[in-house]
Structure 1
Amino acid sequence: MSDELPSLELLPETRRALLHRVAVGQAEGRTPSMLAAVLRGGQPVWTGARSMIDGHAPGTDVQFRIGSVTKPLTAVLVLRLRDEGLLDLADPLEQHLPGTAAGGATVRELLSHTAGLATEPPGPWWERTDGSLRPGLADLLEEQPFRHPAGERFHYSNAGFALLGALVERLRGQPWAEALRQEVLEPLGMTRTTPLPQAPHAGGFAVHPWADVMTAEPLTDTGRMAPAGQLWSTAADLGRLAAFLSCGTTFGNDKVLSAQTLAEMRRPAAAPDGDWTEGYGLGLQLRREHGRLLFGHTGSVPGFRAALWACEEEDVAAVVLANATSGAAPGRVAADLLRIVADREPRFPEPWRPAIEVDPELLALTGHWFWGPAPLTLVLMTKRGLTLREADGDCTHFRADPDGSWTAQDGYHAGEQLRVVHRADGSVSHLDLGGTVLTRQPYGPADAVPGGVSPTLWQEG
């Protein structure tokens, strides 16, 4: 039996199911055209389109306006500034962009839509009016722009992302669009992604809600609002973006953002309550459905709707573009395309291989530990690193730190450090997980149990 990885090519039955879903989306959504692409392993494996004109379906190099799918790209620029040490996500906006009515909001709150700012800027519908109506930063916000206290809740804000674009301009000393082109679009090969349309591009239309007739939507340059939803792009370029957001370093794009920062974008910025289905990271929408976590973004502007969803676990991504103001649901179609591939052709796991080299001292820490009488297991796996498993199946994964400690990446202890505490003779006394003491025995008399243990130890009755 060959140990080679299976072909990325999809089965004919899968390809037909994908095309059928796009056909249904175009027909039921009453959109002039719908274009879709699916990627696996960061590579395009299927494209399909349906159009109101037979024989004139758009190809993957045709530009559509992508609306808020612009936001992840703006977020990448801001996180590059953070990674270079030019700002901290906890910094108030005022520190780097003084003079706005939102100066107290932090960069993180703006990226995650938790600043409490108004959804839209003041004045007429910004997506259908020229950006010259809002020439200055003061034109992006009302005098009292906050709808909720900063940091308390998610409240989507296009105005907030316009401010992030202005922040990029201030710290880079050049227009947002130029910084985006030089730092992100060109390195990722997204040469057909532009602030204004370049032929070939689709026209944008509004379809009447109660009749099969349509009218053209205006083509506008939104000026300072551009970082929130201005860009035009293609299915091919958005596929490159999906591959980068999923596994940037695999394709040599780690010079744009590190894998660690990309993972940070994909985590909920403010953990949703309970069994959540929708959330937001740093410039990325998050969705949980059918047992999978999807990340990406949807977009909607007059004349166009767009969606990009990816699933790290299944290594599948889908892009859908449509040229109608309403009706079409690219977000739903893209999620369904991803599900079709994942359900019909589930991802093959990589073959298990033993670690080439393991630190003996780290290996000696694996095995059973106890929080009081509660048993836990510390395991070391090549792919997942150090993991602490609880008896109920919950797991905490750890990232190695330069000082020899480990930082929890998820679960109850997320952000806390795991440290190995030694005795005077150099032997291991216990583990300290953010103040929680883990010992080798359940309340062993020789272990460092806070408060000590009963001299009678374990007894019946």
Structure 2
Amino acid sequence: MTSPREELLPGTRRALLHRIAVAQSEGRAPSLVAAVAREGRMVWEGARAGADGHAPDARTQYRIGSITKTFTAVLVLRLRDEGLLDLGDPLEKHLPDTGVGEVTIVQLLCHSAGLSAETPAPWWERTPGTLRPTLADVLGDHPVLHPTGRRHHYSNPGYTLLGSLIEALRGAPWEKVLRREILEPLAMDRTTVRPVAPHADGWAVHPWADVMLPEPAEDLGLMASAGQLWSTAADLCRFAVFLAEGDERVLSSASVRELRTPSVPPEAGEWDGGYGLGMQLARHGGRSLAGHGGSLPGFVAGLWVSVEEGVAAVVLANATAGPLVSAVAADLIGIVADAEPRIPEPWRPLPEVDRALLALTGPWYWGTYAFGLKLAADRGLELHPLRGGGRGSRFVVGPDGNWTGLDGYYAGETLRVVRRVNGSVSHIDLGSFVFTREPYDPEADVPGGVDKAGWTGSAS
């Protein structure tokens, strides 16, 4: 049996190399580097280059564009977890006089604030940030294009506002906060706001001829929190593992899971994708992926994580209109997951048994719908329909002895066991729904009561 901690099999490694070789060749990228992480560590890296004297590897810096937004979102969630803000707060509460202060922090995080996608001219990605020294310069005269909270409309200025929010609440530059609170704890010492050798140069490849033109690498100024960063495939693998598992030094697993949770409906026709809080969400090859893509003149980048499979992939290239690296990264995850599926942890019995909880397990009925209640680890419960689809959820126990739904229809709802005066169980109350041991148990407190005549074989 292959251990999930072992290196990838030779056939898998060749398939990965073949995929990036095709991507670099057909995408006409001067260079392309990729890496795969599995079960918490980088297990493969590969690179292809067409320029003489350029041999990148997983420690070569590329510009990662909007993947920067995920870092900014993590910093905002840290502020929330410390009690310094609420995601529902209007921006004005913490960052006054922006002119768009009625939008909320969560709307900025998930791009539903209705703000414009870009800054006023000139094109901010190819001009120095000194041309936009204030937020008013970034937002322009008419920054709000859509009703707030109604639709997903990607906004780079929105993440500039979040960067300024971080600076206001931390009393330090975004760059310094980023390094102190994310990069140093995760040992991402090759992720910087300006390029540090060895790094790739950005190129534009002519669409109709195999010739190249160098692209400028501007310092974005206030727009840095939307797309400034340079990083490596190795560093981004560390970040991908964090986005799957969390790290208490940076952000808890629960808060990281919140980043990956859909927050706004996708645009029409885009039902295979969505957006969480600073993270793009997608379905690819039947798998749920979370991550982000990025681009700036001369560079494209893609990072995806499959939490279920325990696999992440990063692809970086130095061409303005180069390979579709986000799709390539998703393909790399599929190659590994299909060739070497995740080996589940061995089944083990619970270390101890609460007899009272064990007595609650088994069939329960909501009206005539049959459900099964199962005891999980740490006094958790799982409730699922016994036939067909329906409303199922997992529940975690709270300090008051009741349970809270973690997912599904009953996410956030309270499950409590209702007992009679003598201590015996009458029923389970789940968000006001009554679950009984028998369908419409006459001994339980069923809303509306139960006909005293009981069940009958005739409708007459």
Give the TM-score, by structure 1 length. 0.95
Instruction: Quote the residue 1:221 is aligned against.
Output: 219
Match of 2:67 in 1: 69
Q: Which blocks of at least 5 consecutive residues in structure 2 are unaligned?
A: none
Q: Does 1:392 align with 2:405?
A: no
CA contact (8 A) 1:75 1:111 kept: yes
Residue aligning to 2:334: 339
Q: Could you give the per-residue CA deviations for residues 276-307 of structure 1, whole angstroms, max 9, x where no partner exists?
A: 31011111111112221111110011000001
Residue of structure 2 equivalent to 1:246: 244
Instruction: State yes or no: 1:423 paired with 2:420.
Output: yes
Q: Which one is further off, 280-289 or 317-326?
A: 280-289
Hey, what's the Cα distance between the residues in 1 that align with 2:346 and 2:204? 50
Residue 349 to residue 413, structure 1, CA distance change in 2 (3 Å): same
Once residues 59 and 327 of structure 1 are traced to their aligned partners in structure 2, the CA distance between those partners, rounded to angstroms, is 18
Q: Deviations 1:209-268 (Å, cap 9, x if unpaired)?
A: 1111110000100111110100000111101101111113xxxx3121011111111111
Number of residue pairs aligned between Structure 1 and Structure 2: 455
3-state SS of paired residue (1:276): coil
| CA deviation profile, 1:161-206 (whole Å, cap 9, x unmatched) | 1110000000000000100000110000001111111111100001
CA separation in 1, counterparts of 2:412 and 2:261?
Answer: 13
Distance 1:46 1:330 in 2: 17
- Corresponding residue for residue 258 of structure 1: 252
The answer to whether 1:152 aligns with 2:147 is no
Question: 8 Å contact 1:370–1:442 — kept in the other structure?
Answer: yes
Answer yes or no: is the 8 Å Cα contact 1:354–1:382 preserved in 2.
no
Q: CA, structure 1 residues 402+270, in 2 after alignment: closer, same or farther (shift >3 Å)?
A: farther
**Aligned partner letter, 1:269:** S
- Matched AA of 1:160: G
Q: Counterparts of 1:271 and 1:417 in 2: how far apart (Å)? A: 26
Q: Residues of 1 paired with 2:434 and 2:400: CA distance?
A: 20
Partner of 1:366: 361
Question: Residue 424 and residue 274 in structure 1: after superposition, are their counterparts in 2 closer, same or farther (change >3 A)?
Answer: farther
Query: Could you give the per-residue CA deviations for residues 56-102 of structure 1, whole angstroms, max 9, x where no partner exists?
Result: 32011111000001011101100000000000111111111111122
Shift of 1:6: 4.3
Q: CA deviation at 1:329?
A: 0.9
1:383/1:239 CA distance change after superposition, 3 Å: farther
User: Could you tell me which residue of structure 1 aligns to residue 231 of structure 2?
Assistant: 233
CA drift of 1:8 comes to 2.5
Indicate if the aligned counterparts of 2:303 and 2:326 stay in contact, CA closer than 8 A: yes
* Fraction of identical pairs, as percent: 61
Q: Is 2:407 the counterpart of 1:410?
A: yes
Superposition CA RMSD, Å: 1.8
Q: How far, CA to CA, are the matches of 1:300 and 1:285 in structure 2?
A: 14
Give the aligned partner of residue 350 of structure 2.
355
Task: Output the CA distance in 2 between the equivalents of 1:417 and 1:171.
Answer: 34
**Partner in structure 1 of residue 8 of structure 2:** 10
Alignment partners' CA distance in 1, 2:157 and 2:230 = 19
> How far does residue 148 in structure 1 lie from its aligned partner after superposition?
1.6
Change (3 A) 1:151 1:29: same
**Corresponding letter in the other structure for 1:265:** L
2:120 corresponds to which of 114, 119, 122: 122
**Matched-pair contact (CA < 8 Å) for 2:405–2:414:** yes
Query: Quick one: distance in 2 between partners of 1:207 and 1:384?
Result: 58
> Partners of 1:384 and 1:82 in 2: how far apart?
28
Of 270, 273, 276, 2:264 maps to 270
Q: Deviations over 1:359-401 (max 9, x none)?
A: 3322222111111111111112339942110122443122332
- Looking at structure 2, the residues matched to 361 and 427 of structure 1 have their Cα atoms a distance apart, in angstroms, of 10
Matches within 5 A, 1:1-400: 5-53=3-51, 56-248=54-246, 253-270=247-264, 276-382=271-377, 385-390=380-385, 391-394=387-390, 395-400=392-397
SS of the residue aligned with 1:187?
Answer: coil
Q: Which moved more, 1:199-208 or 1:269-278?
A: 269-278
Quickly say closer, same or farther: Cα 1:30–1:54, change in 2 above 3 A. same
Q: Specify the code of the residue in structure 2 equivalent to 1:125.
A: W
SS in structure 1 of the partner of residue 410 of structure 2: coil
1:138 CA displacement:
1.6
